[in-house]
Amino acid sequence: MDWQLLGVSFITIFLAELGDKSQVAAIALGGSSKFPQSVFFGTAGALLLASLLGVLAGEGVAQLLPDHLLKAIAALGFAIIALRLLFGKDEEQDEEDASSEAEPPTIALSDPD
């Protein structure tokens, strides 16, 4: 067992999952349930399965591609994501642009007689 790798993996995934959609869903389910333990075990099981699938997929890809190529692809992917976050339009801006292009609201006036 590589304890350093275990610790790095734990900290990385723990920090990445804070405030993630899965945590928000767990909060919603736990807050509306009479059995929060069931929500805990269900969400923990789902995260374990998702992690297992990710590790198995990573292991399979690592068997097919040389290490340096895999690292280059990962670096390129992260660089693309970073550039899109820095320079891409965000969804809120897209919604504002769409609403500003829509027709202005109208009010129908009627005669009270």
Per-residue pLDDT of the chain (113 residues; tens, 9 = 90+): 999 999 999 999 999 888 888 889 999 999 999 999 999 999 999 999 999 999 999 899 989 999 999 899 999 999 999 999 999 876 666 666 666 666 655 555 555 55
Number of structural domains the chain divides into: 1
For the entire predicted model, the pTM comes to 0.59
Domain of 38, in residue numbers: 9-86
In a domain, 24, yes or no: yes
Crossing angle of helices 21-31 and 36-64, in 10° steps, is 160
In a domain, 91, yes or no: no
In a domain, 46, yes or no: yes
